[in-house]
Amino acid sequence: MTERRIEQRGLFFEEFAEDAVYLHRPGRTVTEADNVLFTTLTMNTQALHLDAAWSAQTEFGERLVNSMFTLSTLVGLSVAQLTMGTIVANLGFSDVSFPAPVRVGDTLYAETRIVSKRLSSTRPGQGIVELAHTMRNQRDEVVALATRATLVRCQPAAGDPS
């Protein structure tokens, strides 16, 4: 009996279904270390992310998680299900917004709706897929929205190892 081996991958261009919504699980609980590390690695020394005493004086009453961490996590949660090994490049982001803040201890869940797809006119074997990402916290509050254009590989022809 031949052993069957399956490698995790994202979707090829042909497998994306317009208007399908993919729920990305498990969620991700944000820690203190996540916020401090991301904020300092990216040189974003905004007191709202780092200074507990200063942040306590704001309308939020505490530090907030860096919104770029939120955006990165939103995209990251989708990778295994949608683009692992099949993406060629991110082409751009639009309509990025953060309707509610993320706090340390929040658990984030993402979902992605496939807005559109078309074959590339200049890159044979590749297509452009537009993704609408939404992230919610454990209270079902929307904390991030982003539309992303990606360039993805088409399914290889039978016998093609690529």
116 DSSP β-pair partners: 130
At residue 159, the pLDDT reads 60
d(CA 64, CA 27): 19
At residue 4, the pLDDT reads 83
pLDDT in tens, 8-32: 789 999 999 999 999 999 999 999 9
Does residue 161 have a pLDDT over 90?
no
Residue 63 counted as domain residue: yes
Structure tokens at 133: 């990402």
CATH number at residue 112: 3.10.129.10
**Average of pLDDT values for 138-149?**
98
Residue 2 counted as domain residue: no
Locate tokens 């995209």: which residue? 75
Domain total in the chain: 1
Residue 8 counted as domain residue: no
Residue 42 counted as domain residue: yes
Residue 84 counted as domain residue: yes
Residue 64 counted as domain residue: yes
SS3 39: helix
Domain of residue 61, residue span: 13-153
Residue 146 counted as domain residue: yes
At residue 72, the pLDDT reads 97
Q: Identity (one letter) of the amino acid at 81?
A: Q
pLDDT in tens, 51-107: 999 999 999 999 999 999 999 999 999 999 999 999 999 999 999 999 999 999 999
Nearest to 150 by CA among 115, 124, 106: 115
